[in-house]
Structure formats: C-alpha cells, structure tokens
Structure 1
Amino acid sequence: MRALLVVNPAATTTSARTRDVLIHALASEMKLDAVTTEYRGHARDLARRAAESDDIELVVALGGDGTVNEVVNGLLHHGPDPEGLPRLAVVPGGSTNVFARALGLPNDAVEATGAILDALSTNSDRTIGLGLASGTPGTEDKSVPARWFTFCAGYGFDAGVIGRVEQQRERGKRSTHSLYVRQVVRQLLDEPHRRHGRITLERPGDDPVEDLVVSIVCNTAPWTYLGNRPVYASPGASFDTALDVLGLSRLSTPAVARYATQLLMSTPERGPQGKHALTLHDQTDFTLHSKVPLPFQMDGDHLGVRTSVTFTGVRRALRVIV
C-alpha cells in the first residue's frame, strides 16, 4: 500500500521526536511519502494531488482539527467518491482533536498510530457523512467557495469566540481550554444582540425561525471537549446521519447561566433545551441568514464574516480508518 502522510509541524501536542517515531512506525507497514506542510492550505493541496493520483490508497493527517479539515477538503475537491478516493486516517496532534476522538481514536498520537495500524491490518474502516457549507460574503470582496467540515460549524456567537481565540494566538498565546473560556466571557460581554438575535434559519417546507443569537451546526457528537470532558450541543448528531442544529434565541444573564450549565452537564442522551432553544436533527438542507455580517467558523477555523450560509448534509461522503 502506498500512503501519503501530511504532517503539520506546528501541531501543539507532538514534538519533532514524536513525529519521527510515528513516521517510522507507519513506514514500517507501508510505502509512505511523508510531507511537512509549509503554508496555510498546503495540506489541502497535498490531499488533492493524492486524490488525483493513481496509486495513493491512504492519506494520513498528523495534526489538529484544522489540518484534518484541509486534508478532507483536498480529498473531496472534485466531490464525494467513497469507493474511488483514498481512505483517510487521522493521528491527533492538536489541542482538542474533536474529529479523531469522535471516531473513537485515542487522544494520544502514539496510541492512535497503533490503533490505525491495527485497523489497517484487519481492513477496518467506515464511511462517514460530512457537512458542506457555502456562504455569501459580508464585508469581504472575494468569492467564498463551498467547503466541507467534519464535526461542526457555527454562525454568530460561537464563531466570534473562535475569532477572538485566533487573535490571541496570533499574539503568542497558547491554545488552551482556559483561553477559550476567557474569550467566551469577553464575547458575551461585548455581544450587542444578546436579547434579540439577528440570525434567521430557513429550510424547505417549514416556516423560518427568526431572532437566533447562537447557531451551532453539528455533524457528530460530542460538539467539543473541555479537557477530557465531552460537551454535547446536539447529542443526536452522528457521522451516519445528516446535520443537527442547536439554536438559541436569547443570551440574557439567566439564559446564559441555564444553557451553560446544561452544556457542562450534557450527556449523550441530553443536551441544552428550553423555550429559547431550537434543536433540529438529521437536516440535509437549510440556510442561515443575517441582516448584518456575522462571524462564521468551521471545524474551529474562523473564516471571516458572512451574511448568509447554506448547509448541506452529505451522507456517506468519505471512508476513514477506525
């Protein structure tokens, strides 16, 4: 088997020495081409070339959720083809690794590599669904092509938090869970539409849902992790179905306390709920609109602002090693 290993050298939880060990372990079992990414979007370009090649059967992403997202978008550049495209394997190297953990892989890179090699020896894989989003730019001039996401997207409040975190990281701050919590608080204090949101959700055959402040789109559960604690925004979300949505129409102080507690106490059976909470399951097509440009994120990557985002849930989009 010939495989491509895409290595993010900036992965926060793996050292150069650990990466060398992982490369050696994988190379002992297959013909491996290991390439280190050099710029934003490089992982996508590498995966696209692998998808267009005739002999690469497997692409391994070594990095965090951002690296995985780039690799997936490269593999699916010409659209889903589970039987014709190389399979995907993920070695977690980021701070949270939601996608890898949602697949059931260990959060430790060495242990995950062992699990991947075991799965390859028994030809164990699964075909998963993914989300596809295309947006209308806000204040940006450039066009916004459709983009795939693996585990979540957000429009409005939570994307604003992601944007604040990225600003802090550009200033040299480490990506930690405490950093995210601090930015949640700051985003909440600065949110001008806490009591009357600007987001409208539209889907075929149903009345629009207006005045949402928070809109979180999930392709799997959990939505994220706080350390080792899973957080479930949409407990019913699954790689085997289309997309789930959690929308909140109010972020007053009592509402914040209630929904924050529900998120922290969420389980695979129960997530946030209440009169200001909208929950939708297994949605294949819907659009989120806003009268003003709002921040947008996918798989934890802030993508600027949008006035509209259209989502499609695509079942059976890609084969992954598990």
Structure 2
Amino acid sequence: MNQERIVDSARTFESIVIIFNPNSTGDAPELAQQLHDKLKSLLTYQPEIILQPTEHAGHAVDLAREAAAKGGDVLVVSVSGDGGYNEVVNGVMQAGNPRAVCAVRAAGNANDHSRITASKPLEEAIAEGRVHSIDLLRIHTGQKDHEPLEYAHSYIGFGLTPVVATELEKGSKGALKEMVTVIQTFSKFEPFAIRLEDGKRHKFDSLVFANIPEMAKYATLSEADNLPKDGKFEVIVFPHMPKWRVLLTALRATTQGLGDQPSVSSYEFTTLKPLPYQMDGEVKRVEANVTVKVESAPLALPIIG
C-alpha cells in the first residue's frame, strides 16, 4: 500500500471513535466510557468523540473501516485485548486513509501490544497528539486480487500457538483453568509439516513471526526493541522435538527469554495440509497447497501510545 504516512508529528483530530465490545467478559464498556469522559475534559479542542459498541465478531473491522474511510484526521481507539485491536487495525488499513491513526486501551485477557508499546496513560498521549508509525506484519494466504490482505500488529503463529488458543476459547477464563487447558492440549498436540523455499518438507512444533518481543503475557520471544520500526520481524522456530524439550524451551521463554532470534523482512512457505494460525489472538485457517508469505509492512500504521 503506497501511502504517505505521518511520522512523529503532534496532531489534533476531527473525530475520535472508541470501539469496544459491550458484552466483553472484562470491563471494556466501563473503560470506554471513562476514556470518553476523560478526553472530553482533557482535550483543549473539541473533536467529535463517538462511543461505538460492536454487535458481533468481526464487527470492529467494519466499524474501524467506516470511521477511517470518512477521511480527514480521525483517531480510532480499540478498547480491547490484542484480538479486538487486530480487527480495528485491519479495518483502518482497509480504509486507505493516510491521516487515520490507531490506538488501544487494554481491556482483555492478553494485552501484549499495549503492554509493550504504551509509554503513558492513553488519554495523556492523545492530548499530546504525538503520533508515530510502526511496522505491521502482512500475511498472504491465497487472497484474490479483490480481497483485502490481513495484518497483525504483534505476531502470527502456526502450530502449537493457535491450537492452544482455540482450546482456551472453548473453555472458561481463569489462570488455573487456562493452565489445565494448555497441559491437556499440549499432551495431544501433533507437529505440522510445511515446504520451505528450499523445496524440502520440514516438520515443526511451532513457528511464530513476532513484531514485538513478548506474547501471551509471560513469554519473551526475542531481544528486539519494544517498538517495531526496522522493517523486519523475528522468526521463532520450534522444530519437531520430544515434548519434554518443547516444555523446557517454553519454560525458558517465560523465565529468561529465548535470546536473539533471526530477523527477516519476509518468510515464505507452502502448506501441505490445512493449517490453523493465530494473529494477535485471533485464530484463522489457511487451506492446503497454498503459498503463504509473511512480510513486514514498514511504518504502515500511525499510532498513539
């Protein structure tokens, strides 16, 4: 997408659209209202500030696209976890408005992006109007020319990551129940195979493309800088190995981190069977015999945070 992106500029906004899930298991409605009220009293100018509840899964994509497509200086705020913010980011990217800016107010089970990128309370950052652009991950999974590409703000994972996420979504939230689910899922997990650019078939337990150095609240994936601004992303590979070694590697990620990881601007492979994958907490699926390409979209998203 060849658009002029605004970097490191102080901005005011004609409109601020706050998108949230009114049926969130967390406190998204309350946090959205608090942000609305604080902005009303804090801002020295008077933009239109709109509270926009979602009505169904995927609705945030439509709402964000519609808000950004109106043109002008618009700020689209997601009051959500990583998955809800993923929808808002994709909606804004589909709108094609280079003056549109995104922000996230953490209100979910996993808030990796907000935790890594936020430097101050969101209402203060909005009042200061300091906008900077970050890289996104862009994934090609066989979309037609008229179909939008998909973007991730934090990570894309194949293998164990989406399988565990799918099982977590089926069950109840809560640290103990989540731990039990992870253990049960891991005990039944099978590796997956893909064909890399060398033409050979490779078997993996996990393959993660990371735009930020942490994920899943606890795991440190790499030693990368906090803000993704270098046009590259890290590739964290767990080749197929005995499960005890996978557990040790996962434990190292949650305690001391995995250390330096390969950094690339693109990565390509071909699926051999249908595969689930996870983007910022949202589980999706790619069919068999599809060439998948993950690439950095440098400085593609203007944000406040």
Identity of aligned residues (%): 23
Which one of 42, 58, 68 corresponds to residue 41 of structure 1?
Answer: 58
Structure 2 counterpart of 1:260, one-letter code = A
Which one of 190, 196, 203 corresponds to residue 192 of structure 1?
Answer: 190
Cα pair 2:266 2:295 within 8 Å, conserved? yes
Counterpart mapping for 1:42-121 below 5 A: 42-78=59-95, 84-105=98-119, 115-121=121-127
**Secondary structure of 1:85's partner?**
coil
Cα deviation per residue 1:164-193 (whole Å; 9 max; x = unaligned)?
Answer: 11222xxxx12x344443333222211233
Which one of 137, 150, 153 corresponds to residue 156 of structure 2?
Answer: 153
1:304 aligns with 2:285: yes
The equivalent of 1:140 in structure 2 is none
Report the Cα distance in structure 1 between the residues aligned to 2:35 and 2:125, rounded to whole angstroms: 16
Q: CA deviation at 1:320?
A: 0.7
Cα deviation per residue 1:107-130 (whole Å; 9 max; x = unaligned)?
Answer: xxxxx7xx2222233322221000
Report the Cα distance in structure 1 between the residues aligned to 2:196 and 2:60, rounded to whole angstroms: 33
The equivalent of 2:216 in structure 1 is 224
Report the Cα distance in structure 1 between the residues aligned to 2:69 and 2:59, rounded to whole angstroms: 15
Q: CA deviation at 1:266?
A: 2.8
1:135 aligns with 2:141: yes
Q: CA deviation at 1:300?
A: 0.8
* Structure-2 change in CA distance of 1:136 and 1:251 (3 Å): farther
Report the Cα distance in structure 1 between the residues aligned to 2:25 and 2:210, rounded to whole angstroms: 24
CA RMSD of aligned residues (A): 2.6
Report the Cα distance in structure 2 between the residues aligned to 1:209 and 1:223, rounded to whole angstroms: 28
* Structure-2 change in CA distance of 1:18 and 1:316 (3 Å): closer
The equivalent of 2:7 in structure 1 is none
* Structure-2 change in CA distance of 1:260 and 1:272 (3 Å): farther
Q: CA deviation at 1:95?
A: 1.3
* Structure-2 change in CA distance of 1:16 and 1:117 (3 Å): closer
Q: Which runs of 5+ in 1 are unaligned?
A: 106-111, 138-142, 274-278
The equivalent of 1:251 in structure 2 is 241
Cα deviation per residue 1:121-155 (whole Å; 9 max; x = unaligned)?
Answer: 33222210000112259xxxxx9852111101111
Q: CA deviation at 1:317?
A: 0.5
**Secondary structure of 1:184's partner?**
helix
The equivalent of 2:4 in structure 1 is none
Q: Which runs of 5+ in 2 are unaligned?
A: 1-12
Structure 2 counterpart of 1:42, one-letter code = H
Q: CA deviation at 1:17?
A: 4.2
Structure 1 counterpart of 2:185, one-letter code = Q
Report the Cα distance in structure 1 between the residues aligned to 2:185 and 2:194, rounded to whole angstroms: 17
The equivalent of 1:321 in structure 2 is 304
The equivalent of 1:6 in structure 2 is 19
**Secondary structure of 1:314's partner?**
strand
Report the Cα distance in structure 1 between the residues aligned to 2:273 and 2:285, rounded to whole angstroms: 13
**Secondary structure of 2:56's partner?**
coil
The equivalent of 1:266 in structure 2 is 256
Cα deviation per residue 1:267-300 (whole Å; 9 max; x = unaligned)?
Answer: 4xxx168xxxxx421x222123332222211111
**Secondary structure of 1:235's partner?**
coil
Report the Cα distance in structure 1 between the residues aligned to 2:203 and 2:234, rounded to whole angstroms: 19
* Structure-2 change in CA distance of 1:51 and 1:212 (3 Å): same
Cα pair 1:224 1:232 within 8 Å, conserved? no
Q: CA deviation at 1:261?
A: 2.3
> Higher mean Cα deviation, 147-156 or 70-79?
70-79
Q: CA deviation at 1:222?
A: 1.3
Report the Cα distance in structure 1 between the residues aligned to 2:299 and 2:30, rounded to whole angstroms: 36
> Higher mean Cα deviation, 178-187 or 45-54?
178-187
Cα pair 1:296 1:306 within 8 Å, conserved? no
Q: TM-score, normalised by structure 1?
A: 0.78
1:27 aligns with 2:44: no
The equivalent of 2:229 in structure 1 is 240
Structure 2 counterpart of 1:239, one-letter code = P
Report the Cα distance in structure 2 between the residues aligned to 1:145 and 1:121, rounded to whole angstroms: 32
Report the Cα distance in structure 2 between the residues aligned to 1:234 and 1:207, rounded to whole angstroms: 28
Q: CA deviation at 1:304?
A: 3.0
The equivalent of 2:169 in structure 1 is 166
The equivalent of 1:109 in structure 2 is none
